[in-house]
Amino acid sequence: MINNEQEQFARNHIPTAFFDSDKIISYLKLHDKVGSEIFDLALKQNIKRNIRLVTEGVGYTVINTDIFVKRIPFYFYVPDFDKKQRGDLLSFFCEFQNYELPENIETVYTALEKLTYTYKLSVPDIMSYPIKITGYHGRNDIFFNWVDYLNLCHKFNINNYFPDNFLFEYNKLLELDGKHPIIYEPGLIGFNENFIRCNNEIIISGEFPCDRNNIPALKWIGVWIENASYVKTTDCYSTGNSKTLEKQLHIGITPYTKIYMPNIYNKNDGHDIWYPIYFGPRVMELNNNVFKHYRKKLNATQQNLADAVGVDLRTYQKWEKGDCIPEGYNLIRLMNYLNIETVQEFIVNEPIIDDNFEKFRNRTSYNT
């Protein structure tokens, strides 16, 4: 049951274009607990647009009437597309694996109440901001990081509540608070590739922290770069044509460049591993073990390889043993016969085991 003040609060926050506020108020006056049937009761008939509402087990459990009234601004929020509002309450439950669990449901509502009633943010801004900066619904990871960011803003008396460069500003406050900043690992680019090469650039994609001038914060980006000529970012945009956290990292390669990426193949026994993806020609060391490895895969003999390339057996044996290196044309012949797609296969390039990225965090320079 509700009092007059609660009734007025409810009427102020129920959009009557979509919901029957009288039916909702009548229900609340008669019940101490509110079931999900109130949403079917509340929705007006013949609404021309799709209204997404939480239901029992998907963002909602039976609760006391007093709590329900406090959450009415979330339950009955309908974005106004003409005002470029996005998202709704159901968006916050899309990516929970166990969205029916009461503790998951309450985690979302506790955060929403804090943003609304403590930090005085508007419901449209709360619903829209995570989608605006990511381009996706249901990014609970970003939402809860944003809640933590707002807590830190409140702690340090900062009022930059909706930064375009959220990842950068959040990491700044984490460091200010004496906590480990987040290392943002790359995603995929192109046709589900870990990276692509375009002329003299290696291009990597992901949600990367950049400052207001779009300069990448390399100490917080999970790419290990040595001796690049430059590192810069370009923006990516959502379907709504707004800039998102997604960036493309362009790395200018030189004869001395080395680039590693973390965990792109697997984690070995749970360890974080930096795998080499590019070594420039002046830092390449031939790995002669590759010849034997690929020869064994073909079930070929050393004589077979020597005949295929057109050299005598003794010459090939020296290559496989590491006594000398095949010249360019012979190397191409070997790659052709052994079905080796890239010269990077021949390079000695041991991965770096780096639990929790401690080695990366302790580097003094991130493009040396």
Boundary-marking domain end, from 24, 55, 78: 78
Q: Are residues 331 and 251 in the same domain?
A: no
Over residues 26-64, the pLDDT tens digits come to 999 999 999 999 999 999 988 878 899 998 888 899 999
pLDDT at 6: 95
The tens digit of pLDDT for each residue in 327-347 reads 888 988 988 998 888 777 777
- The stretch 156-173 carries a mean pLDDT of 97
**Whole-number pLDDT of residue 267:** 67
CATH code assigned at 315: 1.10.260.40
pLDDT in tens, 231-274: 999 999 877 678 899 999 999 999 999 999 999 887 666 789 99
Buried b or exposed e, range 77-100, using 16+ CB within 10 angstroms: bbbeeeeebbbbbbbbbeebeebe
90 & 155 share domain = yes
pLDDT for res 268: 65
pTM metric for this prediction: 0.87
CA–CA separation, 44 vs 19, rounded Å? Answer: 5
Q: How confident is the model at residue 101 (pLDDT cuts 50, 70, 90)?
A: low
Tell me which of 119, 136, 162 is where a domain ends: 162
Contact 189, 172 (CB under 8 A): no
For residue 125, what are the domain limits? 79-162
pLDDT at 96: 61
| C-alpha span between 308 and 12 (Å, rounded) | 83
The amino acid sitting at 83 is: K
The amino acid present at 145, given as its one-letter code, is N
Question: 206 — alpha (psi -120 to 50), left (phi > 0) or beta?
Answer: left
Residue 102 has pLDDT above 80, yes or no: no
Q: Are residues 148 and 90 in the same domain?
A: yes
Does some domain include residue 169? no
Whether residue 356 sits in one domain with residue 252: yes
For the chain, what is the domain count? 4
Q: Which two tokens stand for residue 337?
A: 């016969």
Q: Does residue 172 lie within any of the structural domains?
A: no
